[in-house]
Amino acid sequence: MRMVDVIGKKRDGQALSAAEIQWFIREYTAGNLPDYQVSALLMAIFFQGMTREETVALTLAMAHSGQMLDLSDITDYAVDKHSSGGVGDKTTLVVLPLVAACGVPVAKMSGRGLGFSGGTIDKLEAIPGFRVSLSEQEFRAQARQYGLVLCGQTGELAPADGKIYALRDVTGTVPSMPLIASSIMSKKLASGAGGIVLDVKCGHGAFMPTVALAQELAAIMLNIGRDAGRDMIALISDMNQPLGAAVGNALEVAEAVATLAGGGPDDFRAHCVEVAACMLKLAGRGQRWQDMDDCRRTIETALHSGDGLAKLRLLVQIQGGDVSVIDDPARLPQAPHIATLTAEQGGYVAQVRADSVAQAALALGAGREKKGDVIDPAVGVIVPVKVGQVVQPGQPLATIHASSAASAAAAVPFLRQAITFSATPVEPLPLFYDVLL
Ligand code: URA
């Protein structure tokens, strides 16, 4: 096979065969194809798209480019979740302990943040001592002993995706439906779960700007999962405004702890209960819990009893973290400079644009513009206002946690741009737009 023929075929709008897709993934992973040829193919895929069969073949080829984790010696049915990425999305930190507290083993690998999108691993690293890098042996031993693991992805999991994602990042080919769907699903399929809950975000702070596009992406991923024999649920959730109030790594850990302690922002708590309930629904396989209401009630019991918080504490302890930060989140890394942004006018909150809040957090040093950038775990913003809320002049709109006064000042224009007002009532944003079963 010649790569130039594969590129030409896709450039001309023809479907690639499974054999051609498997060949190019195998050769690229082995280092036998130059980046410029794979870049050309990615751009052709960006413009021409892929059929369902091609997308499934690409996902399976990427999943099989490394190790396929087999968790059957740990549990007969593993469940996993994945968020397509957003601002203030610390859901995993709450959902995993809650699901574990209901007696369902969870062994999850998560990613780092890039651009507007935060990453669970960066948030966990805000906890002093927490080990995000585990060997496969440690991962398995911990899953077997405690039924609870949360760590970074090992290099062995879908390495083709790692190489291709790096290339997409620098060739303008990230926002392609089949490429996003296959990238996400290759890692999910390789990590061995029988049931997968997808939290597909839409809005200003997400890859998918509209509900329709998020539904399309979710449907592609559901098809891939089902064709690969997995049980799937996809939630389409709002990412026009940040999820919860905290954006920034240590601040988000503190908000997750507050939520597991029964407090935290209402939207974030409700979001976590729904995602966790979906995981229980899959884990129960129609037998252990009767319906979604039963799953929600079980999760709420784990939340209100403190069992979820105890599981987060256990997770931190077994992965070497300082548990005193869970008992007292004020012991998490603290920014030296804290400033409050107040409303210059009153009115109904019309927008809290998640992308602008993310830019504020990036300006403070809470995220990465490009891979490898160093992040400051202590900095970020807390934005307690939500679309539809009434705000009085002088009321606090945001608390800025910065490394210096100059850095805090740099974040202010982004926050002013993010939060806009209307003189007439504004409907609050829904948490979810759709559920695809
Ligand atoms: N997350 C991924 O893992 N891959 C993408 O392409 C987009 C989001």
CA dihedral sign of residues 350, 214, 370, 170: negative
Beta-carbon-side half-sphere exposure of residue 74 (alpha carbons within 13 Å): 27
Q: Is 411 in the pocket of ligand 1 (CB under 6 A)?
A: no
* Close Cβ partners of 408 (under 8 Å, ≥ 6 residues apart): 337, 339, 364, 400, 402
- Runs of H (alpha helix) within 198-318: 211-227, 249-260, 266-284, 292-304, 307-318
Cβ of 184 closer than 6 Å to ligand 1, yes or no, is yes
Distance CA 246, CA 307 (A): 23
Structure tokens at 136: 């496969």
Domain interval for residue 417: 333-422
Pairwise CA distance, residues 77 & 180, whole Å: 26
Return the residue matching tokens 């539809």.
Answer: 388
Query: Does 427 score more than 90 pLDDT?
Result: yes
Decide if 82 is catalytic: yes
Give yes or no for residue 180 CB within 6 A of ligand 1: yes
Q: Residue 185 Cα, ligand 1 centroid: separation in angstroms? A: 9
285-300 confidence digits (pLDDT tens): 888 888 999 999 999 9
Q: What are phi and psi of 70, to 5 degrees?
A: -115, 110
Percentage of the chain lying above the pLDDT 70 cut:
99
- Does one domain contain both 89 and 42? no
Ligand 1 centre from 355 Cα, in Å? 17
Q: Please write the tens of the pLDDT for every residue from 353-389.
A: 999 999 999 999 998 877 778 899 999 999 999 999 9
| Residue showing tokens 């396989």 | 285
What pLDDT score was predicted for residue 414?
98
- What is the model's pLDDT at position 42? 98
Q: Please give the Cα distance from 191 to 315 (Å, whole number).
A: 19
Minimum mean pLDDT among 156-165, 195-204, 238-247, 259-268: which range?
Answer: 156-165
- The H-assigned helical ranges of 49-174 are 52-63, 91-101, 120-124, 136-146, 159-171
More confident: 362 or 169 = 362
Nearest alpha carbon, ligand 1 atom 6: 180
Do 362 and 249 share a structural domain? no
Residue 215 shares a structural domain with residue 289? yes
pLDDT of residue 155: 62
In a domain, 188, yes or no: yes
| Cβ(97)–Cβ(315) below 8 Å | yes
Question: What is the 1 CA–ligand 1 centroid distance (Å)?
Answer: 28
- Cα dihedral: 146, 150, 155, 156 (round 10): 40
Domain end marker among 303, 327, 351: 327
- Model pLDDT, residue 199: 97
- The amino acid occupying position 372 is G
| Candidates 81, 112, 140, 168; catalytic one | 168
21 and 100: one domain?
Answer: no
Question: Across the chain, which distance is largest between two alpha carbons, in Å?
Answer: 67
Flag whether pLDDT at 136 surpasses 90: no
Q: Is residue 144 located within the same domain as residue 36?
A: no
CATH number at residue 11: 1.20.970.10
Q: From 121, 195, 116, select the one nearest 153 (Cα to Cα).
A: 121
Candidates 90, 187, 271, 368; catalytic one: 187
On whether both 185 and 263 belong to a single domain, the answer is yes
Q: Of 311 and 371, which is predicted with more confidence?
A: 311
Domain boundary, last residue among 281, 303, 327: 327
239: in domain: yes
Say what the pLDDT of residue 287 is.
83
Which of 128, 119, 180 has the alpha carbon at shortest distance from 150? 119
pLDDT confidence of residue 373: 81
- Beta bridge partners, 396, equal 342
The whole-angstrom separation of Cα 436 and Cα 225 is 13
418 has pLDDT over 80: yes
CATH number of the CATH domain containing 382: 3.90.1170.30
253 alpha carbon, distance to own chain's centre: 14
Contact 44, 7 (CB under 8 A): yes
The reply to whether 275 and 377 lie within a common domain is no
56: left (phi over 0), alpha (psi -120 to 50) or beta: alpha
DSSP state at residue 117: B
Residues near 4 by Cβ (< 8 Å), separated by ≥ 6? 37
pLDDT tops 90 at residue 324:
yes
Residue-averaged pLDDT of the chain:
94
Measured in angstroms, how far is the CA atom of residue 174 from the centroid of ligand 1?
Answer: 8
Pick from 50, 81, 170, 184 the residue to mutate for probing ligand 1's pocket: most ligand atoms within 8 Å of its CB. 184
pLDDT attached to residue 117? 75
Tell me, yes or no, if 187 is annotated catalytic. yes
Single-letter amino acid code for the residue at 107: A
Is there a catalytic annotation at residue 12? no
pLDDT band, very low/low/confident/very high, at 8 (cuts 50, 70, 90): very high
Annotated catalytic residue within 182, 183, 186, 237: 183
Query: Within a 13 Å sphere around the CA of 141, how many CA atoms are in the beta-carbon half?
Result: 7
In this structure, the answer to whether residues 233 and 380 fall within a common structural domain is no
- Are 252 and 399 spatial neighbours (Cβ–Cβ below 8 Å)? no
Strands in 195-202's sheet, in edge-to-edge order, are: 79-83, 195-202, 231-238, 432-436
170 has pLDDT over 90: no
Asked whether residue 136 falls in the same domain as residue 196, the answer is: yes
